[in-house]
Structure 1
Amino acid sequence: MLKNELDVTLHKAENLKEKPDQNQLGFGKHFTDHMLTMRWDKEHGWHDAEIRPYGNFSLDPAAMVLHYSQEIFEGLKAYRGADDSVLLFRPMDNLNRFNDSAVRMCMPRIPADKVLQAMKGLIYLDRDWIPRTEGASLYIRPAMIASEAALGVRPANEYLFFVICCPVGAYYAEGFSPTKIYVEDEYVRAVQGGVGNVKTGGNYAASIKAHTTSQKKGYTQVLWLDAVERNYIEEVGTSNIFFVINNELVTPPLGGTILPGITRDTVLQLAADWGIPAAERRITIDEVIAAAEDGSLTEAFGSGTAAVISPIGEFGYKGNTIMINNGKTGPLAQHFFDGIQQVQRGAAPAPHDWIVRVK
């Protein structure tokens, strides 16, 4: 097979799983009947692409991913429209970001357009898993790992790419209610020149301790500050962050230490479409505290694939509580949440060619 070709073999599952209660889905607990896999090596390029029954992988104990964490992943969703259509939201943006991650981690790029077609085949095959309940969707997780059996710090010569899917409900237990965020000033997430702008597992493993500590204190997520001064705001553990200060939407700029979120970009593009003043600029926790005290900070919310928009009701910082909008969801967060969800589910026209139809 030529290196730029991608022929996908289909192996259907003989026995289908019992589907979970759509009102008790949670997040990342149930997985569909099939998955997409393909392999890469220097001689053959991408090959052995197949949609096959969901199941375990066999990895050598020396597989390089287990020792040197050469691994990347993505997250996107499929939605069921009112007309029973199946819709993807900005899937090529996710796959292009996946390739950006691959370059940074010295891994092979995937043929994004062909992978999208294969993903559509997988989703169509497992379309009965896409929930019909309000707010639920099918979460799609593409990932790539270094599968070569060898020890030694270098790029691997063999890789496994796979896509798995799971029906999900609301990401946070609070649903769309405002969350409580702990501002972390001891541990750091990323530094300039590192891999903070890459979806690689090591970023998330390094965040677990701070996240666990914040949960014990009653917070939902961690807000990370910069690694040098511990003052400039970067992002929340599972999302980018926005503030509304003096009626302007403010978010930290992309600078190599935060993830270039697809939903973050969606919010900024919709803000431009809707005539909402917005700025990508550096912002400190001190500025946030001062704006909260003088009343110019009226809203804060996170943005990400899992939760879409997550309003923030309070921050905890150095033992103090910073309340936002009296702990209530703000009108702009609600506006973005409703607007994005309507586009994702086909209930409103999709600007910028954001929707890809599967069925």
Structure 2
Amino acid sequence: MTATVRGERDTVGLAPPGPGRPWHARLLGPAAFTAIAVLALVVAPLALEPFRLGLLAKYLCYAIVALGIGLAWGQGGMLTLGQGVFFGLGGYAMGMYLKLHDAGGHLPDFMVWSGVEKLPPLWVPFGNPVFAIAFAVAGPVLLALLLGTLVFRQRVRGAYFAILTQALAAATVILLVGQQGLTGGTNGLTNFFDLFGQDLAADETQRGLYLVVAAVLGLLYLVARQLVRSRFGRLLVAIRDGEDRVRFLGYDPATVKTVTFAVSAGMAGLAGALFVPVVGIISPALLGVVPSLELVVAVAVGGRFSLAGAVLGAVVMGYAKTSFSEQFADGWLYLQGALFILVMTLAPKGLLGLAARARDLLPSRRRA
């Protein structure tokens, strides 16, 4: 019970609920955070030039993946280092549809260059956009269900589970690189021109894609927040803090963890499907071990015990990566690493944890 109450407090927000909260608690509370985020997302298309708006849309795609990691790791204690695999499945599903659509009944360009003479049977269903979008979500979910059933039933957890997911990411990259004629090899899938009759290079299309990504992120955040506030979410936090105790009470932690892992995988797959038309490429370099680790680091920076912190961390780390690489081309990786070390040293619970500490330091009126 103690574990459940503590996790529930961390999940719901930075300040206790109720109308009697002081002004600074309301200022730093989850409602204010949500209002500021919504305002920023609405104002961004009006204030940013198309290039910067496209970068923000890319950060929001990463934020969807981070939301799933926050659900699996922050709430469930499952340190998954292979979310790039599920992200890549969704991305390649959408990329295959776009390549077939642009080819207009002919072979995609990279297959012609690779000497392929006939469209592989694996590619045929992805000519249908409904199938491609459905597979972008269902494919990662089914893979996560299979992996979770095999792993969690054997009570594999902790570092062993993290290493297993990391190995899955490395193996997936090797497989994709080795199938040049089927996946594009190292270069992946790129050169997309049209999406449902709209020119992908047009500013209006990119603005519309940004709004779609922002709406999907907001909807998934509300769903995830409702999930962690439900009885299932409290049980998930209890499993994180004391899995053996939950098992002794008659619950099945393997089922809860498998479902949560599958939900996070579905979020990553949907993010990959949105990422491809926004950025214009999907390649093995975007779904390997390093990108997966960067997403986990982003969640840690924002605050893994809070869903809002996971989203915030992804956006902050994406912006920092772009800014550092633009201004310090030779040493931006060191600056990004220093940012992570600084946040983890001063705020082990992430940026939202730091905000909570600042709230506690401010003077508050006596509560009844």
Range class of TM-score, shorter chain = under 0.3
The structure where helix makes up a greater share of residues is 2
Q: Which has the higher contact order (CA 8 A, sep 6+)?
A: 2
TM-score by length of 1: 0.25
TM-score by length of 2: 0.25
